[in-house]
């Protein structure tokens, strides 16, 4: 049974790509207006995929009115207001520029692009389009996990004092099997980089956003633990299991990245992004230490923010385990009664909520392409630093 046609103003969406991110975005387009009061009701017009059969299945399964295989033709439709780009990074630049030129708002998955040059061109086009009331946003959804939104609020209120240190890890383990098959995320031509751009980008955006400070310099190390993988195999989830005896192809991206960073507000940070932390599934761990307090978060316990108030009398000090499930907390009031918690998918719903409200108000949604370009510049600096062995001191 299709949803009743909305009576009020709508935001008619075309989504390009329908894999993991397509599924998460679809869930958000389908549900945001059912839990939040929105000035525009999203309408899921068309999902685009390279294979007609699979795109049609995605439309039926995820709730899109139609499916198509030609994204360029979809951009020309008068019944599409926004293009949601959920494809690998090598396609973001072409699709976003074409969509903005066609007068469509754009939501583009992270990282914005596969190079600084592409990201600069996308940002320039987005800023020109913004002047015409056509807006673009990049999908760093972890900003919209209530606990991290609360973290930014507490830092902004000065509850941590001056920020001294940032400690950020993104630990996954889906590539720990050396025979997990070669997929697009391990092909530099498609993905741009490996763990660095795929999950390290989230850490860069989230820590800059929480602290309100920008990274100005890095010192880095990249590692590829498994340099070739089966070119065929059952890719289930993100990794899957390949055939150890099958033909193998080269892995030309990083499996893990480490870097230290300086921020323009004086803070110093350390970062790690890896797909080989056996036992860690989606462990985004962020700790911020200030002169008056600290915050700590782990996505694997995502409804909790640990807060240490250093201004309390010493005998009362300790990390408070704030259970971020109350109506007073960001976004939570529109969901379940106290204590029932939220999941990974809710960050995507909150992204749709904020994007839709900003578009209705004709305001620039955040993170903008310029915000995403700042992340791209850090990714590029990390790769340049890691390539410069002269900075490595032997023991």
| Binding-site member from 3, 9, 20, 391 for ligand SOE (CB under 6 A) | 20
> Considering the complex, what minimum distance in angstroms separates the CB of residue 385 from ligand SOE?
22
d(CA 326, CA 334): 10
Query: Is residue 74 at the binding interface for ligand SOE, with CB under 6 A as the rule?
Result: no
Q: Which CB atom, from 20 or from 336, has the smaller least distance to ligand SOE?
A: 20
3-state secondary structure of 40: coil
Query: Is residue 372 at the binding interface for ligand SOE, with CB under 6 A as the rule?
Result: no
Query: Is residue 199 at the binding interface for ligand SOE, with CB under 6 A as the rule?
Result: yes
Q: Which CB atom, from 13 or from 206, has the smaller least distance to ligand SOE?
A: 206
User: In the structure encoding, which two tokens stand for residue 31, read together?
Assistant: 């549900």
Q: What is the DSSP string of 291-324?
A: SSEEEEEEGGGTTEEEEEETTS-GGG--EEEEE-
> Considering the complex, what minimum distance in angstroms separates the CB of residue 234 from ligand SOE?
18
d(CA 135, CA 129): 7
**Backbone angle region of 13, left / alpha / beta, with phi > 0 → left and psi within -120 to 50 → alpha:** beta
Binding mask 115-154 for ligand SOE (x = CB under 6 A): ----------------------------------------
Judged by CB under 6 A, the chain residues 172 through 191 that form the site for ligand SOE are 172
- Work out the number of other CB atoms within 10 angstroms of the CB of residue 244: 11
Q: Which CB atom, from 193 or from 294, has the smaller least distance to ligand SOE?
A: 193
d(CA 381, CA 377): 6
Q: DSSP label at 86? A: -
> Considering the complex, what minimum distance in angstroms separates the CB of residue 39 from ligand SOE?
27
Distances (CA, A) of 217 to 112, 261, 270: 20, 6, 12
Q: Which CB atom, from 147 or from 199, has the smaller least distance to ligand SOE?
A: 199
Judged by CB under 6 A, the chain residues 236 through 265 that form the site for ligand SOE are 238
Query: Is residue 198 at the binding interface for ligand SOE, with CB under 6 A as the rule?
Result: yes
* Position closest to ligand SOE via CB: 198
**Could you tell me how many residues of this chain bind ligand SOE (CB under 6 A)?**
5
User: In the structure encoding, which two tokens stand for residue 51, read together?
Assistant: 């294979």
Which parts of this chain interact with ligand SOE (CB under 6 A)? Answer: 20, 172, 198-199, 238
């Amino acid at each position: 049974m299709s949803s009743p046609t909305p009576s009020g103003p709508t935001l008619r969406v075309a989504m390009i790509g329908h894999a993991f991110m397509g599924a998460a975005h679809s869930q958000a387009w389908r549900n945001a207006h059912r839990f939040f009061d929105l000035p525009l009701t999203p309408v899921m017009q068309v999902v685009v995929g390279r294979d007609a059969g699979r795109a049609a299945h995605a439309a039926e399964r995820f709730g899109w009115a139609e499916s198509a295989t030609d994204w360029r033709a979809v951009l020309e439709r008068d019944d599409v207001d926004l293009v949601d780009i959920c494809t690998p990074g090598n396609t973001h630049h072409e699709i976003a520029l074409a969509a903005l030129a066609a007068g469509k708002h754009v939501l583009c998955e992270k990282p914005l692009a596969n190079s600084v040059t592409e990201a600069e061109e996308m940002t320039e086009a987005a800023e020109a389009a913004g002047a015409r009331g056509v807006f673009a946003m990049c999908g760093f959804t972890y900003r919209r996990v209530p606990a991290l939104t609360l973290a930014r609020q507490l830092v902004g209120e000065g509850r941590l004092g001056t920020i001294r240190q940032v400690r950020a890890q993104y630990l996954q383990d889906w590539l720990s099997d050396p025979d997990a098959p070669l997929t697009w995320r391990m092909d530099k031509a498609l993905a741009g980089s490996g763990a660095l751009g795929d999950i390290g980008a989230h850490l860069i955006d989230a820590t800059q956003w929480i602290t309100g400070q920008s990274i100005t310099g890095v010192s880095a190390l990249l590692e590829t633990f498994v340099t070739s993988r089966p070119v065929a195999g059952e890719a289930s989830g993100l990794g899957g299991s390949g055939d150890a005896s099958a033909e193998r192809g080269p892995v030309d991206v990083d499996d893990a990245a480490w870097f230290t960073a300086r921020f323009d507000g004086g803070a110093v940070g350390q970062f790690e992004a890896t797909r080989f932390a056996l036992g860690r599934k989606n462990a985004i761990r962020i700790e911020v230490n200030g002169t008056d307090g600290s915050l700590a978060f782990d996505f694997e316990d995502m409804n909790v923010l640990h807060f240490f108030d250093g201004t309390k009398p010493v005998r009362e000090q300790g990390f408070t385990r704030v259970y971020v499930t109350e109506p007073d907390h960001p976004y939570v009031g529109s969901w379940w009664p106290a204590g029932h918690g939220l999941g990974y998918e809710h960050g995507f719903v909150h992204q749709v909520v904020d994007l839709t409200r900003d578009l209705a108000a004709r305001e620039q949604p955040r993170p903008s392409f310029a915000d995403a370009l700042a992340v791209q510049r850090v990714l590029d600096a990390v790769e340049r630093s890691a390539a410069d062995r002269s900075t490595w001191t032997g023991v």
